[in-house]
């Protein structure tokens, strides 16, 4: 893995929404590869967060890809709405989706990148029959629903297993990790095989600002590949 292989996806869940456009602009200038947007409905996860108007607002202020993490029941009902406001990619959970293959195919028809997400307690083996249909796998390293949670270290062996599966079945597929990523945990997940890091608090709640935080996080991630 070369130094350019690690991608950063700042999660706006941790951002100050009074200054959201400014903060996303700073992340873009600091070299963010995409913006991660968590959509929560209070059913699939015990929290409510964001919707299509937020995506529409961000589409006007950034050229970065907007990846939409659909932590919601029945994500199929919302794909068209989020596509219309400028989404570039959809992340849908394996858990609770009775027709995952159909959902993934629908996203492809819409012309968007497609990712499947698995929670900390979900084994990597569930990906075997669906991996060839996705552009990215996301391993949750916290339980979904809230930001600023501690990293679950027992997910590291699963990240390694997913990387092995990707290399064998779907070379070129991204492996993203989401939850508790900071300068301490970034080298651990990169060493395990991740090449995309979602980070919220470590970027948007850093006292030194977004630019310094992203520089620190990227340097930490590169420790694992130098």
Scan for tokens 């929290």, then name that residue. Answer: 47
Query: Given its phi and psi angles, is residue 83 left (phi above 0), alpha (psi -120 to 50 degrees) or beta?
Result: alpha
Q: Residue 178 catalytic?
A: yes
Yes or no: say if 118 and 126 are a contact pair by the CB < 8 Å rule.
yes
Catalytic residue among 38, 88, 174, 206: 38
Closest CA to 202 of 6, 4, 10: 10
CA distances from 83 to 78, 79, 189 (A): 9, 6, 31
Q: Which residue has the tokens 């080298």?
A: 187
Q: Which residues make Cβ contacts (< 8 Å) with residue 17, sequence separation at least 6? A: none
38 classed as catalytic: yes
Collect all residues with Cβ–Cβ distance below 8 Å to 206 and sequence separation of at least 6: 212, 213, 216
Helix (H) or strand (E) holding 22: helix 20-29
Query: Considering 88, 174, 178, 182, which one is annotated as catalytic?
Result: 178
How many CA atoms lie within 13 Å of 194's alpha carbon, on the beta-carbon side?
28
Reading the block at residue 103, the tokens are 């959902």
Which residues pair with residue 28 across a beta bridge?
A: none
Q: Give the active site residues.
A: 38, 178
């Amino acid at each position: 893995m070369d130094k350019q292989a690690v991608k950063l996806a700042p999660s706006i869940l941790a951002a100050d929404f009074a200054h959201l456009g400014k903060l996303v602009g700073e992340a873009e200038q600091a070299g963010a590869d995409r913006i991660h947007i968590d959509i929560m409905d209070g059913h699939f996860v015990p929290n409510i967060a964001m919707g299509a108007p937020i995506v529409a607002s961000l589409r006007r202020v950034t050229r970065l890809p907007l990846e939409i993490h659909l932590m919601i029941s029945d994500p199929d009902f919302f794909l068209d709405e989020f596509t219309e406001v400028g989404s570039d990619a959809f992340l849908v959970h394996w858990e609770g989706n009775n027709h995952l293959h159909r959902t993934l195919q629908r996203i492809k028809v819409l012309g968007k990148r497609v990712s499947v997400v698995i929670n900390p307690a979900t084994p990597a083996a569930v990906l075997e029959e669906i991996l060839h249909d996705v552009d990215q796998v996301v391993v949750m390293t916290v339980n979904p629903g809230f930001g600023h949670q501690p990293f679950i270290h027992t997910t590291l062996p699963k990240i390694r297993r997913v990387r092995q599966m990707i290399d064998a079945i779907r070379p070129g597929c991204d492996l993203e990790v989401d939850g508790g990523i900071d300068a301490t945990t970034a080298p651990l997940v990169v060493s395990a095989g991740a090449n995309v890091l979602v980070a919220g608090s470590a970027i948007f709640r850093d006292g030194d600002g977004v630019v310094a935080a992203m520089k620190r996080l990227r340097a930490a991630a590169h420790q694992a590949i130098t």
